[in-house]
Amino acid sequence: MSTTPIIKNLHPIDHASAQGKPKEILDIALKQVGFIPNMYANMANAPAMLSTYLHGYALFRSESGFSPAEQEVVFLSVSQYNGCNYCTAAHSMIADKMSGVPKDVLQAIRTRQSIPDAKLAALAAMAVEMVAKHGQPDRAVVQTFLDAGYREQDLLYIILAAAVKALSNYSNQAFGTTVDEKFAAYKIV
């Protein structure tokens, strides 16, 4: 899952010396999470990208109807599928310390093994299927997802989560974003 950065001439925006739109969006980020993650400092090079990410992320968290554990399963499954070391580490820490994802489920997602919880397995499979098939999932995967107790509306929130993760996963890969110390224990080596 390691990538060679393609962005070489842009550098993280330092919040302390930022001005204009980068400062404005980093101020918002600081209020939301209490620190400026390396990912945000990189994304602030395109303030619209960071703004869109923060907005979509917050709406997914507040409006999806998924439990915190389910939200993390979606974010982590998509990030793992996309090969984003940074987001895999960050969402692993959130899953373990904040969202209540069972340890065996977390480990299964991180190692791309079978998820031992049928409902969460259907959710993870649906999230990956939407990304892998570019929004054209196999009908059997959709039916398994619906049979697990999810609704068609939930598919739309998976699309929202996938869009948010495209912004973060792809920008992290473009920059080769260094995993923050806060998430380092969850880094996949």
Tens of pLDDT, residues 104-135: 999 999 999 999 999 999 999 999 999 999 99
pLDDT tens track for 15-49: 999 999 999 999 999 999 999 999 999 999 999 99
Core vs surface per residue 16-39: b (16+ CB within 10 A) or e: eebeeebbebbeebeeeeeebbbb
In whole angstroms, give the CA distance from residue 55 to residue 108: 29
Q: What are the chain's domains?
A: 15-186 (1.20.1290.10)
In whole angstroms, give the CA distance from residue 29 to residue 47: 11
In whole angstroms, give the CA distance from residue 48 to residue 188: 30
In whole angstroms, give the CA distance from residue 71 to residue 88: 14
**Over 60: is that where the pLDDT of 10 sits?**
yes
pLDDT at 189: 78
pLDDT at 2: 52
What separation in angstroms does the CA of 150 have from each of 29, 53, 66, 189?
31, 25, 9, 34
**Over 90: is that where the pLDDT of 3 sits?**
no
**Over 60: is that where the pLDDT of 62 sits?**
yes
> Closest by alpha carbon to 95, among 30, 2, 185, 170?
185
